[in-house]
């Protein structure tokens, strides 16, 4: 593949390491948590533990529905490395490569199934203490490929999973939602109580999903519901996605030596996929202080799209930035993350700069990966394979 003009004599690994060292020094000075290695570097240090570590340190069993996805595969690896027994239930729409490195771990069980296959899901759920539901059709365009199926998966299934969790005495059910629910809120900073103004089918399906979960698991005995409204995620994962704004821009810079900014003044909160997985683990392990809904991110990671473009330019010197006035994506929201910081003491470790370098490094070192391949875009992949994907056929593979 032809590489773009990322003009720098230094190797990308050197840049990643230098950047990480800078963050470590900065975080020592500020007394904040230090930055840990990006996934690529993590592989050298933690892989043995994740692959073969069968040390079970937690008695609680976690079921991760959608555990083969971009966020799910990151979470699953982290849970295993922390000593949890983990079951993954996933339709594996985008393939099973994401779990390849960890499938030999004795503490992991993998089930291939659709969340609409209630009999199979119920058999799998038995005996689990925590259910984390990440399974969804994700992204505005991807949801439009088959709107009815999107609604079944993203919205209606949540009530059924919650009812099942009740029957099986699950202690906590954590549901992935999104800050896209805020839609268009201008530059005012919005917290969890702000009105939701979902613009897309994706966001509407998530807003309704939240409501269904909270009404099914209202106060009283039964699983405690936690809704996590994630920022837009970035960074490299065992299931790479290049249809998320930071990853798309970084990949474009890598492939063409330039980035395109549409509009520019829209606010968007951003978060590294590894930090998102850590937030889920905090929600598993910590008391929720009586709160059920949490925005997941950090105030300093709210960026306008133009600021993001400039950040990418500062990390990869020499790339061009084209600004197109008309923004196709009308979302504009700046989000307050005080609640998760105060309740779970949640502080992201990764900066956008580190995430961008991690993406560049991953693309450079793979030698084979074309970020524009359809498998890395939910919309492109679903558009080309919708019939096969949206049917419910499932099989068990432990
Ligand atoms: N990635 C982000 O920027 C972001 C931001 C906010 C919220 N979220 C939420 O986080 C969750 C995970 O997102 P992701 O980025 O990992 O997406 P993803 O598309 O990589 O993962 C979704 C997973 O769900 C599985 N899945 C889909 N339909 C299924 C079905 N019917 N039955 C069983 N499995 C099914 C897919 O196979 C895939 O592994 C989603 O709920 C999403 O809405 C993600």
Domain-by-domain residue ranges, the chain?
12-390
- Estimate the crossing angle of helix 352-366 against helix 305-315, to 10 degrees: 60
Tell me if 60 sits within 8 A of 130, measured CB to CB.
yes
Nearest residue (by CA) to ligand 1, atom 41, is 134
Extract the tokens encoding 310. Answer: 């400039």
β-strand partners of 394: none
Beta strands in the chain (DSSP E): 61-65, 85-90, 108-112, 130-133, 172-178, 184-190, 224-230, 232-234, 258-262, 267-272, 293-296, 302-304, 320-324, 332-335
Pocket of ligand 1 (CB under 6 A): 66, 68-72, 90-94, 114-116, 134-138, 153, 176, 178, 230, 232-233, 239, 241, 244, 378
pLDDT of the residue at 58: 81
CATH number of 12-390: 3.40.50.720
pLDDT of the residue at 125: 97
pLDDT of the residue at 391: 75
Best residue among 70, 117, 232, 297 to mutate for probing ligand 1's pocket (most ligand atoms within 8 Å of CB) is 70
pLDDT of the residue at 41: 38
344-347 long-range Cβ contacts below 8 angstroms, 24+ apart: 344/279, 344/282, 344/283, 344/286, 344/294, 345/282, 345/286, 346/278, 346/279, 346/282, 346/296, 347/32, 347/33, 347/298
pLDDT of the residue at 136: 98
pLDDT of the residue at 221: 85
Tell me if 244 sits within 8 A of 235, measured CB to CB.
no
Alpha carbon distance 182, 197 (integer Å): 5
Tokens 């393939």, located at residue: 95
Between the CA of 184 and the centroid of ligand 1 the distance, in Å, is 23
pLDDT of the residue at 84: 96
Say whether 252 sits in a helix, a strand or coil.
helix
Between the CA of 320 and the centroid of ligand 1 the distance, in Å, is 32
Return the DSSP state at 157. Answer: H
- Chain centroid to CA 171: how far? 23
Best residue among 76, 111, 138 to mutate for probing ligand 1's pocket (most ligand atoms within 8 Å of CB) is 138
What is this structure's pTM?
Answer: 0.89
Please classify residue 188 by burial: count the beta carbons closer than 10 Å to its beta carbon, then call 0-12 exposed, 13-18 middle and 19+ buried: exposed
Nearest residue (by CA) to ligand 1, atom 42, is 138
Between the CA of 134 and the centroid of ligand 1 the distance, in Å, is 5
Nearest-atom number in ligand 1 for the CA of 152 is: 31
Extract the tokens encoding 315. Answer: 């990390």
Between the CA of 136 and the centroid of ligand 1 the distance, in Å, is 4
pLDDT in tens, the chain (398 residues): 334 334 344 454 555 455 444 443 343 333 333 333 334 434 333 454 555 455 667 889 999 999 999 999 999 999 999 999 999 999 999 999 999 999 999 999 999 999 999 999 999 999 999 999 999 999 999 999 999 999 999 999 999 999 999 999 999 999 999 999 999 877 789 999 999 999 999 999 999 999 999 999 987 789 999 999 999 999 999 999 999 999 999 999 999 999 999 888 889 999 999 999 999 999 999 999 999 999 999 999 999 999 999 999 999 989 999 998 776 777 888 999 999 999 999 999 999 999 999 999 999 988 778 999 999 999 999 999 877 777 765 554 44
Between the CA of 154 and the centroid of ligand 1 the distance, in Å, is 9
Alpha carbon distance 167, 169 (integer Å): 6
Nearest-atom number in ligand 1 for the CA of 176 is: 41
Helix (H) or strand (E) holding 140: helix 140-144
Tell me if 274 sits within 8 A of 348, measured CB to CB.
no
């Amino acid at each position: 593949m032809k590489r773009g003009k990322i003009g720098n004599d230094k190797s990308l690994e050197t840049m990643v390491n230098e950047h990480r060292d800078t963050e470590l020094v900065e975080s020592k000075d500020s007394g904040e948590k230090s930055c840990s290695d990006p996934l690529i570097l993590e592989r050298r240090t933690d892989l043995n533990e994740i692959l073969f570590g069968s040390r079970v340190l937690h008695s609680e069993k976690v079921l991760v529905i959608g555990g083969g996805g971009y966020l799910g595969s990151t979470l699953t690896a982290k849970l295993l490395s922390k000593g949890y027994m983990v079951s993954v239930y996933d339709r594996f729409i985008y393939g099973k490569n994401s779990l390849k490195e960890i499938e030999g771990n004795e503490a992991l069980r993998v089930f291939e199934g659709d969340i609409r296959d209630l009999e199979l899901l119920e058999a799998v759920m038995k005996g689990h203490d925590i259910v984390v539901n990440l399974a969804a059709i994700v992204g505005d365009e991807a949801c439009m490929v088959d709107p009815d199926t999107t609604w079944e998966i993203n919205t209606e299934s949540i009530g059924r999973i919650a009812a099942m969790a009740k029957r099986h005495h699950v202690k906590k059910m954590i549901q992935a939602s999104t800050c896209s629910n805020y839609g268009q809120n201008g530059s005012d900073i919005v917290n969890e109580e702000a009105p939701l103004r979902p613009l897309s089918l994706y966001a509407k399906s998530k807003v309704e999903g939240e409501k269904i979960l909270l009404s099914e698991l209202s106060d009283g005995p039964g699983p405690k519901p936690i809704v996590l409204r994630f920022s837009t995620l970035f960074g490299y994962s065992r299931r790479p996605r290049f249809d998320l704004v930071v990853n798309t821009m970084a990949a474009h810079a890598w492939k063409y030596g330039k980035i395109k900014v549409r509009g520019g003044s829209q606010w968007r909160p951003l978060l590294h996929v590894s930090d998102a997985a850590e937030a889920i683990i905090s929600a598993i392990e910590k008391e929720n202080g009586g709160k059920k809904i949490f925005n997941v991110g950090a105030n300093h990671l709210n960026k306008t799209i133009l600021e993001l473009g400039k950040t990418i330019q500062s990390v990869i010197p020499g790339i061009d930035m084209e600004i197109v006035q008309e923004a196709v994506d009308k979302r504009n929201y700046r989000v307050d993350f005080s609640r998760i910081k105060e309740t779970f003491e949640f502080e992201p470790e990764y900066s956008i700069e580190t995430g961008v370098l991690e993406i560049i490094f991953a693309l450079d070192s793979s030698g084979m990966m074309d970020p524009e391949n359809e498998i890395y875009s939910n919309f492109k992949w679903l558009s080309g394979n919708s019939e096969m994907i949206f049917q419910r056929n499932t099989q068990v593979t432990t």
